[in-house]
Homo-oligomer: A and B are copies of this chain.
Amino acid sequence: SFREEIAKFLTDYTGAAKELNPEHITVMNGCCAVFATLSTVLCDPGDGYLIPAPYYGGINSKTWLYGGIQPVHVPLFSEVTDEESHPFQLTVAKLEAALQRAKKQGIHVRALILINPHNPLGDIYPEQLLKECLEFAHRYGLHVIMDEIYMLSVYGDTTFTSILSLDCLPDPERTHSMWGFSKDFGMSGIRVGVLHTKNPEIQKAVNELVVFHSCPGPVQHILCQLLRDRDWLENVFFPTNKKRLREAQNILVAGLADLGIPVFKSSAGLYVWADFRKFLKSQTFEAEFELWQKILDKKLLISPGKAFYCYEPGWFRLVFSDSLDKIYLGTQRLEQTLQSDTVEPATTNTSSAADALCNPEKDSPAKTSHTSGEDPSQLENILVY
């Protein structure tokens, strides 16, 4: 069956400690549905979930529309403190702080959502941090939802640790993970997402909802055959895919470097996270939007940090999973846009990020709940995948 093939595949490709049990797998029409069902089943409307920001902003609507739950941001910043080794670094102390802030605001936090490999940062959580996060969640009885949708799109040398590979989870009954075909197989239109959970009660409840999120039989049949062709996957598809991703990423990063745009060091995903702060007229999200619009006018679509609930204006996500000529063309257009800028670049500072943290009225998690989990700004129509 499809679930058996998926279990075998994930066992091999996550380096699972033990062979995965097909019974722990639920197939749905995409990870949107996994988020919708999990948020409906794990939480009550109004509950919150911790999520490090920036993050893939689509999670807001996917957990809100049916589940009615709200994000509690764990804001990460580019500035590196003495205890940290890189920008936007997640630490358990930051999770703790966000949880305590949410409690004070009266939000009942039920879960922690982690995206690994990360979207939009493109980095990978070290195994040690992953374990610390799991222990943190266990300490507070939080469910952990691991979004591993970019699991096999690792082009760098960093080792990815899937939650499925961990020998001993602190709280296996509250640890759930998802993966899908969209990204790693370049098949976003195929609509197949997979939930893995060892919790039979949760799975039973999710199964009640799965009738609304079912995956056509013929699609299951074809993907079974794809997964069975292990020789082609192992020797042709994945090596080629990784090679192309690495090449494309290198070219984009080099092109951005030529324009003086620093890029966050990443090793997975189909995008880079780039620092355009020096091109903002002012260090505000309005200026970020203005720059985004100007770049779009030159027919280059990139995603502003605001769409990822980033707390610092000026960061953009650029997708590179395309042919190399498109990437060259993209950097060319970017160059034209930035050079046509007559305004002097402002000095980079993080004051607005500090504002965002200090002024809960302005951009707090609590605010989100009044706006259907969607950002109320003019950016609301920017679709990001």
Contact = CB atoms under 8 A, between A and B. Distances in A.
Q: Which of A36, A192, A212 has the most CB of B within 10 A?
A: A212
Interface string A174-202: 00000000000000011110000000000
Nearest to A66: B66
Given A189-B216, A190-B218, A219-B218, A65 B209 contact: yes
A211 B212 CA distance: 11
Nearest to A214: B191
Nearest to A222: B218
Contacts of A209: 65-66
A40 interface: yes
19 contacts: A29-B191, A29-B213, A29-B216, A30-B211, A30-B212, A32-B211, A32-B214, A33-B212, A36-B212, A61-B208, A61-B211, A65-B209, A66-B66, A66-B212, A190-B216, A190-B218, A191-B216, A212-B212, A212-B213
A214 B66 contact: no
A66 B213 CA distance: 12
A213 B210 CA distance: 10
A13 B281 CA distance: 59
A289 B32 CA distance: 40
A35 to B, nearest CB: 9
A217 B182 CA distance: 12
B214 A216 contact: no
Identify the 6 closest CB pairs spanning chains A and B, nearest first: A189-B217, A191-B216, A36-B212, A32-B211, A33-B212, A190-B216
A62 interface: yes
Residues of A in contact with B, size category: 20 to 34
Contacts of A190: 216-218
A169 interface: no
Given A65-B208, A66-B66, A213 B213 contact: yes
Interface string A1-44: 00000000000000000000000000001101100100010000
Contacts of A215: 191, 216
Contacts of A66: 40, 66, 209, 212
Contacts of A212: 29-30, 32-33, 36, 62, 65-66, 212-213
Q: Which of A29, A189, A215, A219 has the most CB of B within 10 A?
A: A29
A219 B190 CA distance: 9
A32 B215 CA distance: 13
Nearest to A67: B66
A3 to B, nearest CB: 16
A217 B32 CA distance: 16
A29 B214 contact: yes
A66 B211 CA distance: 11
Nearest to A374: B208
Contacts of A30: 211-212, 214
A213 B215 CA distance: 10
A147 B298 CA distance: 48
A307 to B, nearest CB: 16
A37 to B, nearest CB: 9
A217 B215 CA distance: 12
Contacts of A214: 29-30, 32, 191
A29 B215 CA distance: 8
A191 B213 CA distance: 9
A195 to B, nearest CB: 14
Nearest to A190: B216
